[in-house]
Amino acid sequence: QVQLVESGGGLAQAGGSLRLSCAASGRIITYTMGWFRQPPGKEREFVSTINWGGHSTWYSDSVKGRFTIARDNAKNTVYLQMNGLKPEDTGVYYCAASRLFRISPRPDDYNNWGQGTQVTVSS
């Protein structure tokens, strides 16, 4: 199993950008990777996922066109570029790894989770 550590969170103004990184303790090439978030007082929700090779991605409707997921298997790192941030993007962002050989928006399909990084967007 890999351990995941997120970074890059912080405070941003509406319309601004942040780039999240997720560094893994081991090789991630055999994992589907995902980003999820938990807004204050709400349940964890799907944000984006990317398959092992990076050529298949999926975004939630709420972030499509604003966020971009990418991975660098040589560096065992996954990224989430967040542009056009909105106050409703505020929450704790989690990186997750899945052994499934397909992309999935279901948290239950992911076996390994990071500790999360806080993103706060002010209006």
Amino acid code (one letter) for 93: Y
Q: Does residue 101 carry a pLDDT above 90?
A: no
Tell me, what's the pLDDT at 1?
84
Measured distance CA(64)–CA(19) in Å, rounded:
16
- State the average pLDDT over residues 81-85: 98
21 conformational bin, left if phi > 0, alpha if psi -120 to 50, beta if neither: beta
pLDDT per position as a tens digit, 3-58: 999 999 999 999 999 999 999 999 999 999 999 999 999 999 999 999 999 999 99
Q: Does residue 70 carry a pLDDT above 90?
A: yes
Residue % of the chain over a pLDDT of 90: 98
Q: b/e per residue, 32-46, with b = 16+ CB within 10 A?
A: bbbbbbeeeeeebeb
Measured distance CA(34)–CA(50) in Å, rounded:
6
